[in-house]
Amino acid sequence: MEIIRSNFKINLHKVYQAIEEADFFAIDGEFSGISDGPSVTALTSGFDTPEERYQKLKKHSMDFLLFQFGLCAFKYDHTDSKHITKSFNFYVFPKPFSRSSPDVKFVCQSSSIDFLASQGFDFNKVFCSGIPYLNQEEERQLREQFDEKRSQANGAGTMAKCPVTVPEDQKKFIDQVVEKIEDFLQNEEKKILDLEPCTGFQRKLIYQTLSWKFPKGIHVETLETEKEELNDAVGFSRVIHAIANSGKLVVGHNMLLDVMHTIHQFYCPLPADLNQFKEMTTCVFPRLLDTKLMASTQPFKDIINNTSLAELEKRLKETPFDPPKVESAEGFPSYNTASEQLHEAGYDAYITGLCFISMANYLGSLLGPSKVCVSARSKLIEPFFNKLFLMRVMDIPYLNLEGPDLQPKRDHVLHVTFPKEWKTSDLYQLFSAFGNIQISWIDDTSAFVSLSQPEQVQIAVNTSKYAESYRIQTYAEYVGKKREDKQVKRKWTEDSWKEVDRKQPIVPGPCSHTNSFTATGVIGKRNLSPDPQEAGSEDRELEEITDSELEQMDSCADPLPEGRKKAKKLKRLKKGTVADSPAMLFEVPDTW
Amino acid sequence: MEIIRSNFKINLHKVYQAIEEADFFAIDGEFSGISDGPSVTALTSGFDTPEERYQKLKKHSMDFLLFQFGLCAFKYDHTDSKHITKSFNFYVFPKPFSRSSPDVKFVCQSSSIDFLASQGFDFNKVFCSGIPYLNQEEERQLREQFDEKRSQANGAGTMAKCPVTVPEDQKKFIDQVVEKIEDFLQNEEKKILDLEPCTGFQRKLIYQTLSWKFPKGIHVETLETEKEELNDAVGFSRVIHAIANSGKLVVGHNMLLDVMHTIHQFYCPLPADLNQFKEMTTCVFPRLLDTKLMASTQPFKDIINNTSLAELEKRLKETPFDPPKVESAEGFPSYNTASEQLHEAGYDAYITGLCFISMANYLGSLLGPSKVCVSARSKLIEPFFNKLFLMRVMDIPYLNLEGPDLQPKRDHVLHVTFPKEWKTSDLYQLFSAFGNIQISWIDDTSAFVSLSQPEQVQIAVNTSKYAESYRIQTYAEYVGKKREDKQVKRKWTEDSWKEVDRKQPIVPGPCSHTNSFTATGVIGKRNLSPDPQEAGSEDRELEEITDSELEQMDSCADPLPEGRKKAKKLKRLKKGTVADSPAMLFEVPDTW
């Protein structure tokens, strides 16, 4: 179901109902761009730490607009053993609702726009008919503005002692109001008189005129029509709040950017460091599952070659997988996976959900006795909760939202600096004596080179000691120096803080939502380092970059309702059980 | 005539012909936004110097995209005493032409996008069908890439001594080529064999295969199909080059932003200071005329109340003006000014041209004996050449492209700093003793206040000496301190230059076009300060801001062809004549 500005309000109850009934959701977002700095390939390095990756995405991706949001709600029908879907495709645009409202500026990346154009994306629907939204700080400010206006209007002119000057074009309106009130006062049957809706200026004139015409006083009260206006302005954010408030499982494919964008656009600017981001995300979305991570992990890794969404969807129709029985709910148009509509967010969300169901059911089929339908609450899928796929990182497959990230050893990795003229072939030549190597560029003049055996690392460092054009150090040395540099830089930054501060645009304060963020701490569980071989890096081809860069997904939260409490309980349960088998995600036990 | 990517090439000759025949052009651009910093009202101050204004626009407006360009060519038909128009409406978008081509990022401002949407603007035409373009540096780089590729391809494999490894999927193609050549060599009648177009890789395979198969050597040459590809990539910039090369008069309405965008987008990043910008602009566009400035200047100022394009167009249909006789050329759709299509760049360019003709003819009617039709080369309009309207500057009506800018006295102006809680009413109260004042906000805590009499300035400064919450200084004191600060800051900047430099994205070097820029020096003529009363500031209303912010225009230049030389001659002539009556622009002599 396509939702734009004009049909948003009349369909919102359908969205709420779908969220209310659903077992889980799948979501997906389309953005106006991916990286406003270097290209994504140049920006990301195969040896980024999760903190580095977060900082890079925060810096280079958050100025783009999430302008299409797909939501597909899945509900299992036990009688007919099939999933009922309700799919929504929302167009989103920060249309300013008044002269004083925020005038959002966002960046577009030509290649992303051109890609979406080639897929038949309708930009007019975004820019002419997109649903507006506010983040939490903007909502708070607007609420304050309304409160202030109302208190001014209610109090204004209570003491008017002379006739009010009513502008010519308002006279007829005010005269009619006075007439109505005089009729009302003479008619003893009626207890309340509702005046017609009017502008703030007209309201002021009414208050002033009445206080002069009826010096003994009559009670006039402004009804809160602003509440409706406020709801209209908050717009699409209400959908995200509802998803978040449900506390239900939210599934996405390669969803890190979707999650970051959703929080940034509909809640508050992203926090300064990764740990705060984890806290915030766990609070907004208590249960996330990334199908790209799931497909890249055992037992799927060995039987799924290409984890891009389109290929994954195709693969999961074939043995040993079983395409799930799915039907769209009455009144909802159905998607046909045979005629692909990839990169329409609603469709992408839909097939992401299908992929999740197929993979979950496959896990069930491995059980003895096998289980035909695995629910979104099943323990079988818990190992995949709250772990987001990390694109093109060689030895850290996911960002762990519930605790510290995996710490790969990297004792076989070298950091090399060289003249900017060097190409990949120069590096291969330099390390030709060491057999198979893997190169991961950092920038024009440096790269990580991983050797096949850690013992070779010291040999490489030693042989380079007298080299003039290049320099080799171990990964540990590199990290140590970087940490030192950071401390020096921090000092420098603090010294010149005032200077910098003056130039910064005014940014809203921390998310007004912080109270509830503290409710969920980062769990102090430490995962084992997975075998680098298991980390799924080879299957990341160029095709995958373009493809997956544009397939992401989102959602968010408010106070703690029913669903949220359940989610917390589940999480605690999980802490108890999973901590005993921390490597579970990579070594699926035979019992599965 | 609407021109998009698909019909650009087949219509380019029509554009060239229109430019070739025209007496003058009118142009207009539509942008994805106006200011990425504060709102335009907050950004600009009524006492900005032209240099300050240039810096503000350069910093806060150049990241937006000029995505629709209107060009209307006007040619006078002496037989029928009417103007023949050819109007073009171009949609422009920086579609990347290959993986390695620049991936432009541009900013969109929600309010501007929303405004255009409300005017029925078709964003899909921009993003899905916009004509690509390159600036001069990008064109140079692409040309180099092609040259390099060709020289590699031509030289590759000349010495191949063993059979070439032809990939399986290319074998059939290469075999067919070899067969054709063998046939050709046996057929003595044919002197030349044209091979079919092929990819760069196939070309390499052909060269290698042939040098091995025919060791005695045969001459194979690559035809320059790249030239065609290069032209396609340069795309819309070719139109701007043609306008610039014509050296003809280019008319626009409130055209400063249009000119800045056109140079920035299709030539090179804007230079660091205003004087360099003037040199560059005079080189690219030797003759510009701004109808908003014209309408705000005597003899028009007294008889034209509202100078926004739509209102101006209406006003110029009434006495004492005479709407010109205009007809669209055969094959060109005609605009109807009765059914407004405002903010379509082609239409705005068209009515800008109409306004220019009406006002020029009015000047002719003032002559004794009166002149019915004033040409684009008439001396009557020379005083308006190369002066661009400055929006909302109180006492400097225009940016003078041909020399130093006007230096208003400002000895009646005070600079006031105060707590950020202050409002306009607080300032009025503070200066209540001084009669009429004009306030021009700079930022939250400072403003310029102009008094009606310069003698009051010192009194105001003296009375404020012991004030604690606010501070008053004369304009001269303020400028002096600012200059000092700038010098200190420059020193600081130089010290930390290396640090800053590292973080800067790589920007193309100065416009490759610099040689021709030096051809036109800034003329050292100094204009008199106009009477502040004459500077046209009162008629700048809020409506005007929104309206005019989105009505701008553009164009650009290459080497010096015929038209350009004429323009230079004219300019020299002007120097001689106008210098004698420097205030001509504001005091139209009776002979007009």
Three-state SS annotation for A163-215: CCCCCHHHHHHHHHHHHHHHHHHHCCCCCCCCCCCCCHHHHHHHHHHHHHHCC
Going along A187-317, which residue ranges are E strands?
249-252, 288-290
Residues 6+ apart with CB under 8 A from B134: B102, B142, B233, B234, B235, B237
pLDDT tens string A416-425: 999 999 988 8
How many Cβ pairs within 8 Å bridge chains A and B? 82
* Interface membership of A218 toward B (CB under 8 Å): no
Q: Which residues of A touch B61 (CB under 8 A)?
A: none
* Interface membership of B95 toward A (CB under 8 Å): yes
Q: Region of B386 please: left (phi>0), alpha (psi -120 to 50) or beta.
A: left
Beta bridge partners of B30: B68
Output the six-digit token pair for A432: 């030709």
Identify which of A131-140, A432-441, B436-445 has the greatest average pLDDT: A131-140
Task: For residue B3, give Cα distances in angstroms to A301, A419, B10, B71.
Answer: 50, 46, 10, 11
* Interface membership of A59 toward B (CB under 8 Å): no
Nearest C-alpha neighbor of A395 from the set A481, A314, A475 = A475
CB contact at 8 A, A537 and A398: no
Token pair 């701490």: residue? A521
Task: Tell which wins on pLDDT, A471 or B151.
Answer: A471
Beta bridge partners of A109: B105
Q: Which residues of B touch A122 (CB under 8 A)?
A: 124
The least confident of A583-592, B221-230, B260-269, B326-335 is A583-592
For residues B188-214, one letter each, b for 16 or more C-beta atoms within 10 angstroms of the residue's C-beta and e for the rest, the string is eeeeeeebeebeeebbbbbbbbbbeee
Angle between helices B256-266 and B50-61 (to 10 degrees): 50
For residue A404, pLDDT beyond 90: yes
Cβ pair A95:B110 closer than 8 A: yes
Output the six-digit token pair for B102: 């620049």
At residue B112, the pLDDT reads: 95
* Interface membership of A235 toward B (CB under 8 Å): no
For residue A502, pLDDT beyond 90: no
A94, A104, A127 ranked by CB distance to B123: nearest:
A127
Q: Three-class SS of residue B496?
A: coil
The alpha-carbon radius of gyration of chain A (Å, integer) is 29
* Interface membership of B113 toward A (CB under 8 Å): yes
Task: Tell which wins on pLDDT, B222 or B482.
Answer: B482
The Cα–Cα gap between B522 and B255 comes to: 20
Output the six-digit token pair for A550: 């544009």
Q: Which residues of A touch B109 (CB under 8 A)?
A: 103-105
- Write out residues 127-146 of B within 8 Å (CB-CB) of A: 127-128
A36, A105, A117 ranked by CB distance to B105: nearest:
A36
Q: Which residues of A touch B107 (CB under 8 A)?
A: 105-108
For residues B142-181, one letter each, b for 16 or more C-beta atoms within 10 angstroms of the residue's C-beta and e for the rest, the string is bbeebeeeeeebeebbeebeeebebeeebeebbeebeeeb
Nearest C-alpha neighbor of B381 from the set B355, B404, B402, B356 = B356
Nearest C-alpha neighbor of A265 from the set A98, A110, A137, A127 = A137
The mean pLDDT value for B384-404 works out to: 93
At residue B559, the pLDDT reads: 32
The Cα–Cα gap between A52 and A59 comes to: 11
Helices (H) and strands (E) in chain B, counts: 22, 14
The mean pLDDT value for B461-481 works out to: 88
Q: Which residue out of B103, B420, B502, B550 would a mutagenesis test of the A interface target, given it has the greatest number of A Cβ atoms within 10 Å?
A: B103
Cβ pair A95:B114 closer than 8 A: yes
For residue B523, pLDDT beyond 80: no
pLDDT tens string B49-76: 999 999 999 999 999 999 999 999 999 9
* Interface membership of A114 toward B (CB under 8 Å): yes
DSSP state of B201: H
At residue A506, the pLDDT reads: 37
CB contact at 8 A, B166 and B129: no
The Cα–Cα gap between B306 and B318 comes to: 14
The mean pLDDT value for B120-132 works out to: 96
At residue A492, the pLDDT reads: 63
Going along B423-562, which residue ranges are E strands?
437-443, 446-451, 471-474
At residue B493, the pLDDT reads: 59
For residue A353, pLDDT beyond 60: yes
Residues 6+ apart with CB under 8 A from A179: none
The mean pLDDT value for B561-569 works out to: 38
A403, A404, A409, A414: CA torsion to nearest 10:
130
Q: Give 3-state DSSP helix, strand, coil % of chain B, rounded to 5.
A: 45, 15, 40
Instruction: Kindly report the length of chain A.
Output: 592
Q: Three-class SS of residue B8?
A: helix
The mean pLDDT value for B414-436 works out to: 89
Q: Which residues of A touch B117 (CB under 8 A)?
A: 124, 127-128
Task: For residue B304, give Cα distances in angstroms to B224, B299, B307, B319, B552.
Answer: 56, 9, 7, 11, 20
Residue A34's closest chain B neighbor by CA? B105
Cβ pair B113:A103 closer than 8 A: no
Cβ pair A110:B107 closer than 8 A: no
Nearest C-alpha neighbor of A130 from the set A61, A66, A64 = A66
The Cα–Cα gap between A23 and A27 comes to: 14
Q: Which residues of B touch A39 (CB under 8 A)?
A: 103
Cβ pair A105:B110 closer than 8 A: yes
Task: Tell which wins on pLDDT, A120 or A43.
Answer: A120
Report the greatest alpha carbon distance in chain B: 105
* Interface membership of B101 toward A (CB under 8 Å): no
Q: For residue B571, name the pLDDT band (cuts at 50, 70, 90).
A: very low
Cβ pair B39:A110 closer than 8 A: no
Q: Which residues of A touch B116 (CB under 8 A)?
A: 127
For residue A515, pLDDT beyond 50: no
* Interface membership of B124 toward A (CB under 8 Å): yes
* Interface membership of A546 toward B (CB under 8 Å): no
At residue B495, the pLDDT reads: 56
Token pair 């969205």: residue? A15
Nearest C-alpha neighbor of B309 from the set B320, B327, B296 = B296
DSSP state of A64: B
The Cα–Cα gap between B306 and B315 comes to: 9
Report the greatest alpha carbon distance in chain A: 105
Task: Tell which wins on pLDDT, A165 or A357.
Answer: A357
For residues B370-388, one letter each, b for 16 or more C-beta atoms within 10 angstroms of the residue's C-beta and e for the rest, the string is ebebbebeeebbbbbbbbb
At residue A257, the pLDDT reads: 96
% of chain A exceeding 70 in pLDDT = 79
At residue A498, the pLDDT reads: 46
Q: Distance (Å) from the C-alpha of residue A128 to the closest C-alpha of chain B?
A: 5
* Interface membership of B505 toward A (CB under 8 Å): yes
A108, A110, A117 ranked by CB distance to B108: nearest:
A108
Looking at every residue in chain A, the average pLDDT score rounds to 80
At residue A590, the pLDDT reads: 30
% of chain B exceeding 70 in pLDDT = 79
The Cα–Cα gap between B285 and B555 comes to: 7
Q: Three-class SS of residue A224?
A: coil
Q: Which residues of A touch B33 (CB under 8 A)?
A: 105
B39, B94, B124 ranked by CB distance to A122: nearest:
B124
> Is-cis flag, bond preceding B299, omega within 30?
yes
Q: For residue A159, name the pLDDT band (cuts at 50, 70, 90).
A: low
DSSP state of A162: S
* Interface membership of A170 toward B (CB under 8 Å): no
Q: For residue B546, name the pLDDT band (cuts at 50, 70, 90).
A: very low
Q: Region of A368 please: left (phi>0), alpha (psi -120 to 50) or beta.
A: beta
Q: Which residues of B touch A36 (CB under 8 A)?
A: 105
Cβ pair A32:B107 closer than 8 A: no
At residue B200, the pLDDT reads: 72
Residue A505's closest chain B neighbor by CA? B37
For residues B417-432, one letter each, b for 16 or more C-beta atoms within 10 angstroms of the residue's C-beta and e for the rest, the string is bbeeebeeeebeebbe
User: ipTM of the predicted structure?
Assistant: 0.76
Residues 6+ apart with CB under 8 A from A175: none
Cβ pair A107:B107 closer than 8 A: yes
Task: Tell which wins on pLDDT, B144 or B165.
Answer: B144
DSSP state of B325: P
At residue A214, the pLDDT reads: 79
Q: For residue A237, name the pLDDT band (cuts at 50, 70, 90).
A: very high
Cβ pair A104:B113 closer than 8 A: no
Q: Distance (Å) from the C-alpha of residue A159 to the closest C-alpha of chain B?
A: 22
At residue B529, the pLDDT reads: 32
DSSP state of B405: P
For residue B508, pLDDT beyond 60: no
B39, B126, B505 ranked by CB distance to A103: nearest:
B39
pLDDT tens string B91-116: 999 999 887 788 999 999 999 999 99
Nearest C-alpha neighbor of B218 from the set B209, B227, B229, B226 = B209
Q: Three-class SS of residue A70?
A: strand
The Cα–Cα gap between B531 and B408 comes to: 8
Cβ pair A105:B103 closer than 8 A: no
Q: Which residues of B touch A111 (CB under 8 A)?
A: 96, 103
For residue A555, pLDDT beyond 50: no
Identify which of A263-277, A535-549, A562-576, B531-545 has the greatest average pLDDT: A263-277
